Amino acid sequence: MDIPKAYEPALVEQKWYRTWEESGYFKADPSRSGVPYSIVMPPPNVTGSLHMGHALNITLQDIVIRWRRMQGLNVLWLPGTDHAGIATQNVVERQLAEQNLHRLDLGRERFEALVWEWKEKAEANILSQIRKLGSSCDWSRTRFTLDQGLSGAVREVFVRLYEAGLIYRGEYLVNWCPRCTTAISDLEVDYRPIDGKLWHIRYPLKGSNDLVVVATTRPETMLGDTAVAVHPDDERYFHLHGRKIVLPLMERDIPIITDPFVEKDFGTGVVKVTPGHDPNDFEAGQRHHLPVVRVIGEDGKMTVEAGPYSGLDRYAARNRVVQDLESKGLLAKVESHSHNVGTCQRCETVVEPLVSKQWFVRVKDLAEPAIAAVAHGRTVFIPENYSRVYFEWMRNIHDWCISRQLWWGHRIPAWYCKKCGEMIVARIEPSHCSRCKSDRMEQESDVLDTWFSSALWPFSTMGWPEATADLKVYYPTQTLITGFDIIFFWVARMMMMGLRFMNDVPFRTVYINGLIRDEQGQKMSKSRGNVIDPLQIVEEYGTDAIRFTLAVMAVPGTDIPFSVSRMAGYRAFCNKIWNAGRFLLLNLSAVPLPDAEEMDRLYSSGQLRLEERWILGRLQHAIRDTNENLEKFRFHEASNQLYHFFWHELCDWYLELIKANLAAKDKATAVLTSKVACYVMEVSLRLLHPFIPFITEELWQRLPHSGPSVMLSSYPRPKPQWIDGESIEQMEELQEVITAIRTARAETSVDPRKKIESHISCSEEAAAFLKSQEHHLRSLAQLSSVSFNAEPHGKGLRIQGMTKTVEFALILDESLDFEADRDRLRREIARLQKDVEKLGQKLQSADFLNRAPAEVVQATRQRYEDGLEQLRGLQEKLAALSGS
RNA sequence: AGGUGCGUAGCUCAGGGGAAGAGCACUUCCUUGACACGGAAGGGGUCAGCGGUUCAAAUCCGCUCGCACCUACCA
């Protein structure tokens, strides 16, 4: 048998992935039987390549999908990518900038062509990375948000919402990025603390020599002031009510208004009102019907409305305004003041709030059913507290600005008549104006916010608005797995759109995965230089190792400090699995894999030995736990528990215990042992497959199996009747005795290879049991002989020890370290004494005896008595040793 | 300002009302024919602090301290 000593992922991953894909194992078929189970993959942006967050997200989805597929469900996992408007446009713009070019130099068409070129490359790269992670998604259904089909869905939704009055166009204050030269939504603004200044400016009161002092962090906006406001109840300023201000520098009269939005305690309690450049002021302006003066333009420079400051950059204008005020004696004082400044999430430029004509979705009516759906549990968040995050935002939702002044995205399906100005919103480009019949129509140049198309993803990808078989079978999807950072951006909007256009929630469960951080818990970022490239990790450690690591660390909703050293531990686990398989391959008698009936027969035939009944029982536990944990999306517990089962039960004990029998000269014994071992291994591989698909497939194929692929085999279901309490207890006893003997040997520095004589005294019952397992005692504890309840013959030195049920002596014919032995005994005695004391106290308490459940009291008493007895024994041994 | 989460072994983290867990690191020993990406054994924790509920609290509740994050907004 040609099987390498160490698992080499590179040799198997590509091979199996290609086989799976080419055999069509990933393909969904709406016409097949089985309960549908679908997931749409959160589409990665075509901005670059996958990061660890994607690796986590994709791994978890694949685990769920492979598990459900093996359970026999009718599975669809639909992959794809997102055009990511601003982000992708920025990437290409940056490349142009390197050649000293701007997109305006190219024009819209040529620029778009360039972005498409980029997209093709990025997408190909991303999809191949997704493959490398072992993802079993249906590639025949791969979608891209700018695909023809999806674009059709976008248009359809836009038109329907417009016709329903839920989309409107108007002049409002929006967040504007002067660098990207586009509007961005509230969610795309990051606030950062900035050490700024608070300028106190004297505003002359009209018709008097009085001055009113206002405080501002943005003096340049005063050029656009159209009022000054005070709180209506502020006694200090009652005399100002109804008066006017002569706005300095601009020398125009503006009213003093009263409005409760003014905070009396901040600054001077008098605030300048600039409806054109501040969200609060904009609203105040609407309340008081103030004119809007736009002094800062879309390029971040002062407009003609700024008079003498026109053409200056907004920051240059600030300096000039301050200088001019100072020279006129109108600057009362300057304080340093730290405050939050909004910046563009994509390019970090300070955002300029400004009034412009934009498209909006009226969102209240859409939000209501989406709130209700979660409130009624039609969609459930895991962990559950994220529903609070969702509610909080949904209940305070603002209209959604969906237009972007970009070139990369879905062009808004609105046309304007160049002749009469009529606007037409339509599914197909109108050939002429419906009002004046002119054929000089021009399409709206704005594109839609990326999230507008992403919001349709769960159904647009399945062919909506056509009534496709996919939609019928696979919508709503079962599960969405995504990060908390896009609950508002994406999850909430999919909820709204799904309910509106499909009349049902887009997914039953939203599992929120955590953020991947570095080992020190720092966010991974290029600027910190702590980014780990998942594909590089895959090359170094293998896909299975990274997948298992991510699964083990995936505690729902909490961040994951990704640790390479920890992953090395899970690579070792893969290697362990490999070698367990290798061991069987090298030692099995040639037997076919026993089927379920044969195993049932064997189990009830009474031929199975302790270790076999035990491991079959433990296997059922593992099966049950894995299924239960996956059901609850507890990936970390599912995988951790499998790790423990496979390594520390199956490998450490079971495989060790069957070695002799596997190699037994007695053919029947060897065959029986082989059969059970085959079975245990085969089930374990199936159990592990969703987590570590490659190594399990490779071993499964090499070992006795039936069927074309482990990924198509059935997922193990527990057989509770194979959980045999007696074998588990007996096994524990055996393990305890073996471990105690090993400990005694190790601590007294007996040569580990030396077979030694042993003597055990215990109850008749225990003796009978241990006698039946004598071969195991000998091989695992390195004993030459075991005698029971008889005085040891021979006069060698003795090491003594005990467990709950036995006392033992190991006979040596050479000197040994008695002091070490005494030390060991003293330590054990001290430890036991503490325990026993604590238990004794508990048992003294009448409250405990009366109120604690009977089985707890019983268990406590048992432990107490065992402890006492052990303590007595140990003290005797110590005394004997000290005497010698 | 409001909210959420976290503080458990040297490090990174699970667990969660009835005997402290994992990976890595550490100590000692072992190249015995699955595996040194290994085996055996071991050291190491008043589970942030203070109070409360309970027969029983690392676990539930309250407060304090420290650390993250989210939302809102600060003229």
User: What is A121-186 written as a DSSP string?
Assistant: HHHHHHHHHHHHTT----GGG-EETTSHHHHHHHHHHHHHHHHTT-EEEEEEEEEEETTTTEEE-G
Contacts of A847 (CB under 8 A, 6+ apart): none
- Spatial distance from the CA of A632 to the C1' of B17 (Å): 23
- Spatial distance from the CA of A389 to the C1' of B71 (Å): 9
Shortest CA–C1' contact from A851: which nucleotide?
B55
To 10 degrees, the CA torsion angle through A235, A237, A241, A246? 180
Three-class secondary structure of residue A606 per DSSP: coil
Shortest CA–C1' contact from A849: which nucleotide?
B55
- Spatial distance from the CA of A454 to the C1' of B18 (Å): 50
To 10 degrees, the CA torsion angle through A354, A351, A49, A534? -140
DSSP label of A308: G
Calculate mean pLDDT across residues A56-72: 95
- Spatial distance from the CA of A395 to the C1' of B51 (Å): 38
Give the residue with minimal CA–C1' separation from B22.
Answer: A640
- Give just the sign of the alpha carbon dihedral A562, A566, A568, A570: negative
| Whether A448 contacts A158, CB under 8 Å | yes
pLDDT exceeds 60 at position A627: yes
- Spatial distance from the CA of A722 to the C1' of B45 (Å): 38
DSSP for A422-463 reads -EEE-SS--SS-TTT----EEE---EE-HHHHHTTHHHHTTT
Give the residue with minimal CA–C1' separation from B70.
Answer: A389
DSSP label of A590: S
Check residue A409 and give its pLDDT: 92
| Whether A381 contacts A510, CB under 8 Å | yes
Shortest CA–C1' contact from A848: which nucleotide?
B55
- Spatial distance from the CA of A869 to the C1' of B46 (Å): 28
Check residue A614 and give its pLDDT: 93
Residue A121 burial (CB count, 10 A): 10
Task: Give the count of alpha carbons within 13 A of A503, CB side only.
Answer: 3
Give CA–CA dist A626/A641, Å, rounded.
Answer: 8
Q: Which residues pair with A197 in a beta bridge?
A: A336
Give CA–CA dist A802/A828, Å, rounded.
Answer: 11
Would you say how long chain A is, in residues?
Answer: 884
Choose the weakest-confidence range: A256-265, A406-415, A462-471, A787-796: A787-796
Calculate mean pLDDT across residues A1-21: 90
- Give just the sign of the alpha carbon dihedral A492, A493, A496, A499: negative
DSSP for A358-381 reads EEEE--HHHHHHHHHHHHTTSSEE
| Whether A460 contacts A149, CB under 8 Å | yes
Peptide bond between residue A465 and the one before it cis (omega within 30 degrees of 0): yes
- Spatial distance from the CA of A261 to the C1' of B74 (Å): 12
pLDDT exceeds 90 at position A501: yes
Under the banding of pLDDT at 50, 70 and 90, the label for residue A789 is: confident
Q: Identify residue A461 by its one-letter amino acid code.
A: T
Check residue A815 and give its pLDDT: 59
| Whether A446 contacts A416, CB under 8 Å | no
* The two three-digit tokens of residue A598, written as one number: 């044969």
Under the banding of pLDDT at 50, 70 and 90, the label for residue A335 is: confident
Contacts of A214 (CB under 8 A, 6+ apart): A200, A201, A203, A228, A267, A268, A270, A271, A272
* The two three-digit tokens of residue A659, written as one number: 């070695």
Give CA–CA dist A868/A849, Å, rounded.
Answer: 19
Alpha-helical regions (H) of A705-756: 725-747
Under the banding of pLDDT at 50, 70 and 90, the label for residue A797 is: low
| Whether A112 contacts A407, CB under 8 Å | yes
- Spatial distance from the CA of A675 to the C1' of B36 (Å): 30
Choose the weakest-confidence range: A62-66, A414-418, A872-876: A872-876
Shortest CA–C1' contact from A855: which nucleotide?
B18
Under the banding of pLDDT at 50, 70 and 90, the label for residue A74 is: very high
- Spatial distance from the CA of A518 to the C1' of B69 (Å): 16
Nucleotides of B strand lying within 7 Å of any protein CB atom: 3-6, 11-15, 18-19, 22-25, 28-43, 54-56, 68-75
Give the residue with minimal CA–C1' separation from B32.
Answer: A753
pLDDT exceeds 70 at position A461: yes
- 3-class secondary structure per residue, A643-672: HHHHHHHHHHHHHHHHHHHHCCCCHHHHHH
- Spatial distance from the CA of A53 to the C1' of B6 (Å): 21
Check residue A513 and give its pLDDT: 87
Average pLDDT in chain A: 88
Check residue A664 and give its pLDDT: 87
What is the pTM for the complete model shown? 0.91
More confident residue, A882 or A409: A409
* The two three-digit tokens of residue A311, written as one number: 């053409």
pLDDT exceeds 90 at position A526: no
DSSP for A480-502 reads EEEEGGGIIIIIIHHHHHHHHHH
Shortest CA–C1' contact from A221: which nucleotide?
B75
Specify the DSSP element, H or E, that contains A414.
Answer: strand A414-417
* The two three-digit tokens of residue A610, written as one number: 């302790």
- Comparing CA positions, the residue from A312, A65, A276, A87 lying closest to residue A180 is A87
- Tally: H helices and E strands in chain A: 29, 29
- Spatial distance from the CA of A531 to the C1' of B23 (Å): 21
Shortest CA–C1' contact from A519: which nucleotide?
B12
Shortest CA–C1' contact from A274: which nucleotide?
B75
Give the residue with minimal CA–C1' separation from B38.
Answer: A576
Q: Residue A237: exposed, middle, or buried by beta-carbon count in 10 A (0-12, 13-18, 19+)?
A: buried
Shortest CA–C1' contact from A655: which nucleotide?
B34
Q: Is A529 left (phi over 0), alpha (psi -120 to 50) or beta?
A: left
In chain A the first and final C-alpha atoms are separated, in Å, by 56
Task: Give the count of alpha carbons within 13 A of A187, CB side only.
Answer: 20
Give the residue with minimal CA–C1' separation from B34.
Answer: A583
Check residue A795 and give its pLDDT: 59
Shortest CA–C1' contact from A850: which nucleotide?
B55
pLDDT exceeds 60 at position A1: no
pLDDT exceeds 80 at position A474: yes
Q: Residue A557: exposed, middle, or buried by beta-carbon count in 10 A (0-12, 13-18, 19+)?
A: middle
More confident residue, A193 or A617: A617
Give the residue with minimal CA–C1' separation from B68.
Answer: A521
Counting residues of chain A whose pLDDT is more than 70, the rounded percentage is: 98
Q: What confidence tens digit (pLDDT) does each residue in A691-703 have?
A: 999 999 999 999 9
- Spatial distance from the CA of A12 to the C1' of B11 (Å): 34
- Comparing CA positions, the residue from A496, A409, A416 lying closest to residue A155 is A409
Contacts of A743 (CB under 8 A, 6+ apart): A801, A824
Under the banding of pLDDT at 50, 70 and 90, the label for residue A814 is: low
Contacts of A94 (CB under 8 A, 6+ apart): none
Q: What confidence tens digit (pLDDT) does each residue in A228-258 have?
A: 888 888 888 888 788 888 888 888 888 888 8
Check residue A286 and give its pLDDT: 84
Check residue A690 and give its pLDDT: 96
DSSP label of A222: G
Give the residue with minimal CA–C1' separation from B2.
Answer: A392
Check residue A403 and give its pLDDT: 92
Give CA–CA dist A126/A123, Å, rounded.
Answer: 5
Task: Give the count of alpha carbons within 13 A of A216, CB side only.
Answer: 26
Under the banding of pLDDT at 50, 70 and 90, the label for residue A792 is: low
| Whether A330 contacts A201, CB under 8 Å | yes
Q: Which residues pair with A13 in a beta bridge?
A: none
**Pairing between β-strand A560-561 and β-strand A516-517 as defined by DSSP bridges:** parallel
- Spatial distance from the CA of A332 to the C1' of B32 (Å): 90
Shortest CA–C1' contact from A780: which nucleotide?
B40
Q: Identify residue A514 by its one-letter amino acid code.
A: G
* The two three-digit tokens of residue A674, written as one number: 């082989």
Q: Identify residue A354 by its one-letter amino acid code.
A: L
Calculate mean pLDDT across residues A843-847: 87
Three-class secondary structure of residue A102 per DSSP: coil
Shortest CA–C1' contact from A484: which nucleotide?
B70
Check residue A830 and give its pLDDT: 81
- Spatial distance from the CA of A530 to the C1' of B56 (Å): 46
Task: Give the count of alpha carbons within 13 A of A38, CB side only.
Answer: 25
Structure-token match 């531990």, residue found: A569
